[in-house]
Chains A and B, each alone.
Chain A
Amino acid sequence: MHAKRNNGGIAILAGTVAIAIAIFSSVKVKQPPLAAASELALRQPTGQPQLVSIARLPHGSVTPDGEMCEWAPASTTITLFAELEQEKIADSSARTRSEDAGKTIEVMRPPVRTIRDTDPIYSSIAVDAHFDEVILQDENLFGLKIFNRLDNTAPGARFTEPKRVIAGPKTKLQYNCGLYVDQNSGDIYSVMADTGDRILIFSHDAKGNVSPARELMTPHRGYAVAVDEEKQELYLTVQFPPKVMVYRKMASGDEKPLRVLEGERTGLADSHGIAIDPRTKLLFVNNYGNTSNYRVAGTGKFNPPSITVYPLEADGDSAPLRVIQGPKTELDWPGAMYVDPERGDLYVANDLGDSILVFHETDEGNVAPARMIKGPKTGLKNPTGVFVDNKNKELWVSNMGNAAATVYSLMANGDVAPLRTIRSAPPDKLSIKFGKTEAVAYDSKREQILVPN
């Protein structure tokens, strides 16, 4: 009896299986994508595991202990699969082709990140007292921005729009530092630093992308400019090898200088700011201090910053009449300078000191400035430009550190608020202060990019 039942059960099972086979055979089962990929790879399913590819795991996905997956927080947006997908973008076929010398693979992917200050970085300033305009030199976005002298950016405003801009490839304005405005004609003189080796002169009414009206070729590393209008002579500091070049004011092209002040006796050492007093016939130059005789190995020196004073006609390897130097001076990367001939005051934009130093023209040695504008109320941040407006009795400053120009009473002293501020960025702006990015290093420990300027 039991055997007959068992035979019947087996028959039922066999029949069920046969029906199932028939059903599966008659229905077209949708193949999963992986099966299609296998066909493309000319592989057939074998019912056994097969090695189909080898791909390097993303760096860091295998721990030193050999674990495949490092712990990552739940909030992470990077997954192992995502990293593998990113690598595919790099085109593995290109990697294979690159094994062969003689073929260049051009990689046109855009940068994934860009670090750039989108606001101006003002290197210098001048005032056109005749047209009541303030000219600011932007060495970040490259150009000259002209404002009304009485512009004063409201606290809630993001910036003040300039009334005129001179900028564009034709202008050749780039990493320009020195600035001078002819108070009679309104002509604007702009010194190209070490990317152009020239002084560009624009007419007062220049606007937009226009060529300079005149260009004067100068040595490499020009910095600041001053003009003796009485004698129609133009003075230019050159950082290194340090020197002061004196040209005809209207010189152009490759015209040679009238005089060159240079040599070891001059005391010039990484010369920056320059000022002249036609009344006392004096020339003032400030120096960062580092120097060497570039023709002789091992002559480099770290000198303290200084202001060296010469006769206006100084030429060749002439020693200064006197030197202002020493810790009491507070000099710390001095930038532009300006003389107030009426009072005999010498104003210095003191970059790293976040201050304006005011000396007497007759000062000498390790002396403290007669006045110093410094403090949180002043709005000063890395000032590098300074201008004395004697007509309106005001002192103008351009700040590299906050995209702003600040103006003070000519006799201001201490932690005083500016009379007016022209801002080209929000009030809390702190500039990146990129000044021609030419090299880079990567700190892998801190995951930081180091940018020398």
Chain B
Amino acid sequence: MHDLGYDAVHDELVVTSSLAQAILTFRGGANGEEAPLRIIQGPHTQILAGAGALAKVTVDPVHNEYLVPGAPDTVLVFPREGKGDVAPLRVLRGPDTQIRYPDLEGGDNPPVGVDPVHDLLIVGTRMPGRRGGGEAEEEGASSDSPFRRGVPGALLIFDRTASGNAKPRAVIGGPQTGIGRVNQIAVYPPKGWIVASTGNSLCVWSINDNGDVPPRWRIPVQKITGGGSGGVALDPVHKEIIAPDSANNSVITFYFPEIF
């Protein structure tokens, strides 16, 4: 599993069943082999993730929606309470979107963030191409592996209800951004901060940023811990940022009042 969402309004967990092209919703306190409350799955869903498998899901508890990136170059939006073979409410797809899913034969899904207060949708895209650019890719697989291609990347900012071949209203990308691979996105709507885990660091941009701009703040996780950050979650009450560190098989928490 490469993603998980917690819906604080409805006290529910949402996760994808990566290989079965399904979105599963569980009770917030679910434990053990507890069945999901709802499953979205079927041909009308248009869920297609390619060999990379359906890996990401984001919940918008204010507007009762699930946002799921998939192939080819797509973000699907579903009703939170959808059950079974339901069609998406909106499909964001097309060349003008600049969403680039590596390809059907491999690669990770781009992460999605949502700001329900400012009505924005943020998509962390990965661009097909050679290795290099931005932050260093992880060591490991052959450079030909589709799971290691796809840098540099960018953050695409859309209107929350963007649909079809819509253009982003802003694109944060370029050498100054240092964006290579975006693994997970969290948004802090009260102050309009976008927090992205980019593999080696946790970086913060404003929802008002556009173009080749460096992050406002950077926590260089690899420099600090020797590991990396594969994701990010926010705890505004305690002013903390939580990140998984797959290089050390751990979860780390930073005190980071700057953005709260």
| A452 / chain B contacts, CB cutoff of 8 Å | 1-4, 15
Interface 1/0 per residue, B195-229 and A, CB below 8 Å = 00000000000100100011111111001110000
Closest CB in chain B relative to A59 CB, distance in Å:
7
Chain B interface: which of A11-19, A94-102, A417-425? A94-102
Closest CB in chain B relative to A174 CB, distance in Å:
8
Chain A interface: which of B92-100, B112-120, B124-132, B235-243? B235-243
CB-based contact A114/B251 at 8 Å? yes
CB-based contact B218/A106 at 8 Å? yes
- Name the one of A101, A198, A295 contacting B213, with C-beta atoms under 8 angstroms: A101
Closest CB in chain A relative to B189 CB, distance in Å:
14
Closest CB in chain A relative to B119 CB, distance in Å:
22
- Name the one of A113, A196, A439 contacting B1, with C-beta atoms under 8 angstroms: A439
Query: Which residue of chain A lies nearest to B53 when distances are taken between CB atoms in the complex?
Result: A240
CB-based contact A439/B239 at 8 Å? no
A104 at the binding interface (Cβ < 8 Å): yes
| B18 / chain A contacts, CB cutoff of 8 Å | 240, 290
The distance in angstroms between the C-alpha atoms of A28 and B154, with both chains bound, is 65
Interface size on B, residues (CB 8 A): 83
A107 at the binding interface (Cβ < 8 Å): yes
CB-based contact A441/B5 at 8 Å? yes
CB-based contact B254/A112 at 8 Å? yes
CB-based contact B218/A439 at 8 Å? no
Chain A: residues with CB nearer than 8 A to chain B?
59-60, 86-87, 90, 94-95, 98, 101-117, 139-140, 142, 172, 174-175, 192, 194-198, 217, 220, 239-241, 254, 269-270, 290-292, 294-302, 352, 434-446, 449-453
| A192 / chain B contacts, CB cutoff of 8 Å | 140
The distance in angstroms between the C-alpha atoms of A160 and B187, with both chains bound, is 47
- Name the one of A90, A101, A297 contacting B216, with C-beta atoms under 8 angstroms: A101
The distance in angstroms between the C-alpha atoms of A132 and B127, with both chains bound, is 51
Query: Which residue of chain B lies nearest to A221 when distances are taken between CB atoms in the complex?
Result: B53
Beyond known contacts A109-B255, A441-B13: 17 more, CB 8 A cutoff: A59-B236, A86-B255, A98-B258, A105-B216, A105-B258, A107-B218, A139-B249, A142-B249, A297-B46, A297-B47, A440-B184, A440-B231, A441-B4, A444-B237, A445-B11, A450-B13, A451-B244
- Name the one of A108, A241, A297, A434 contacting B43, with C-beta atoms under 8 angstroms: A297
| B85 / chain A contacts, CB cutoff of 8 Å | 298
CB-based contact B140/A196 at 8 Å? yes
- Name the one of A196, A296, A434 contacting B48, with C-beta atoms under 8 angstroms: A296
CB-based contact A440/B43 at 8 Å? no
Query: Which residue of chain B lies nearest to A113 when distances are taken between CB atoms in the complex?
Result: B253
CB-based contact B258/A107 at 8 Å? yes
| A290 / chain B contacts, CB cutoff of 8 Å | 17-20
CB-based contact A440/B142 at 8 Å? no
CB-based contact A108/B224 at 8 Å? yes
B102 at the binding interface (Cβ < 8 Å): no
CB-based contact A90/B246 at 8 Å? no
CB-based contact A95/B258 at 8 Å? yes
The distance in angstroms between the C-alpha atoms of A324 and B233, with both chains bound, is 42
The distance in angstroms between the C-alpha atoms of A277 and B205, with both chains bound, is 57
| A108 / chain B contacts, CB cutoff of 8 Å | 220, 223-224
B64 at the binding interface (Cβ < 8 Å): no
A292-B19, A300-B19 known; A440+B251 contact, CB < 8 A: yes
- Name the one of B15, B216, B248 contacting A104, with C-beta atoms under 8 angstroms: B216
| B244 / chain A contacts, CB cutoff of 8 Å | 437-440, 451
- Name the one of A86, A90, A296, A445 contacting B258, with C-beta atoms under 8 angstroms: A90
The distance in angstroms between the C-alpha atoms of A445 and B218, with both chains bound, is 28
- Name the one of B3, B248, B256 contacting A107, with C-beta atoms under 8 angstroms: B256
The distance in angstroms between the C-alpha atoms of A194 and B43, with both chains bound, is 28
- Name the one of A117, A196, A297 contacting B249, with C-beta atoms under 8 angstroms: A117
The distance in angstroms between the C-alpha atoms of A444 and B10, with both chains bound, is 12
